[in-house]
Amino acid sequence: MKNIYIIGVGLIGGSLALELKRLDPTVTIYGISRKETTLDEAMSLNLIDRKATIDNIVNADLVILSIPVDAAVKLLPSLLDTIPEKGLVIDVGSTKEAICKVVENHPKRKHFLAMHPIAGTEYSGPKAAIYDLFQNKTNIICEEDKTDEALKNKVLNFFTTIGMKLRRMNPESHDKHIAYVSHLSHISSFMLGKTVIEKEKNERDIFDMAGSGFASTVRLAKSSPEMWTPIFKQNKVNVIETLEEYITNLTHFRDMMKQDDFEAIYNEMKNTNHIKDILKGIN
């Protein structure tokens, strides 16, 4: 892979650019964005070598689609229209069912590989790109049997080389599970931040009195609304299901407090402590 086009040179796209260059300094990485300032920043940070447009991907060996999921669904069919026989398009979005559905009957479906590298921070834009973002993280691969074998293997080899563990899952299962372990976490963080901001009007009090526990819990509230609103929209059914279950648990906890049933509260927390064993080794 020598000519690589990244559409959306932010945290994920930019971090992939860093890894691609580290593995093979001879590759040429082209950046595509709606905003010229984004490309200028990506150039200044040496994330990309040149600016490009969608029309230029007729020369692509690999196209990395790393933009909000609603925009990705709209753009993918035209990318497949343009991609050459040697080329492959991958997307790295947090929802998979909609994007797989939109190209299921495309004549060049074999030139697309759906994946979700589960890695990231709360930051966005080219300046958020970092080395080793993907080390020891999981990459969910969907419908790989619909992708050309040779094209797919080159890309999957790259992701294992940069330290990712590959897991296969169908798009529907991915979206259901990710609603619980990712999307709900972001909603909880945003709403906790909202609750505190509305109650604690003095920002200095929040800063002075908030401990590391609060800071880590609301860390995700710094994430990009431009990215997360389309994710919630595309995964609406699953997200609502997770919210209803979460609200039920919160209501139950509130009721135990009202009833002074602190033994039950202790047992609830004690039983949930098992999560530390499940998540052992995750940064």
Q: With helix as H, strand as E and coil as C, how does 159-172 read?
A: HHHCCCEEEECCHH
For 89, what's the count of Cα atoms within 13 Å in the CB-facing half-sphere? 30
- Residue 46 to residue 41: CA distance in whole angstroms: 9
- Residue 93 to residue 83: CA distance in whole angstroms: 19
Looking at residue 208, what DSSP letter applies?
Answer: H
Q: Quick one: CATH architecture of 173-278?
A: Orthogonal Bundle (1.10)
Segment 179-207 shows an average pLDDT of: 88
Q: What is the pLDDT of residue 202?
A: 73
Q: What is the pLDDT of residue 283?
A: 59
- Is the distance from CB of 93 to CB of 119 less than 8 angstroms? no
Segment 193-202 shows an average pLDDT of: 84
Beta-carbon neighbour count of residue 59 at 10 Å?
15
Nearest alpha-carbon partner for 95 in 14, 172, 208, 193? 172
Judging by beta carbons within 10 Å of its beta carbon (0-12, 13-18, 19+), is residue 258 exposed, middle or buried? exposed
Q: Quick one: CATH architecture of 3-169?
A: 3-Layer(aba) Sandwich (3.40)
- pLDDT tens-digit series, residues 65-96: 999 999 999 999 999 999 999 999 999 999 99
Helix (H) or strand (E) holding 91: strand 88-91
Segment 202-227 shows an average pLDDT of: 83
- In whole numbers, what is the pLDDT of the chain averaged over residues? 95
Q: What are phi and psi of 118, to 5 degrees?
A: -85, 85
Domain ranges of the chain: 3-169, 173-278
**Unique residue bearing structure tokens 């509260």:** 265
Q: Is 100 helix (H, G, I), strand (E, B) or coil?
A: helix
Six-digit token pair at 15? 């971090």
Q: What is the pLDDT of residue 281?
A: 67
| pLDDT level of residue 99 (50, 70, 90 thresholds) | very high
pTM for the complete prediction? 0.92
Residues 6 or more apart whose CB falls under 8 angstroms from that of 114 comprise: 90, 91, 96, 99, 100, 141, 142, 143, 171
Q: What is the pLDDT of residue 127?
A: 97
- DSSP lists the bridge partners of residue 29 as 4
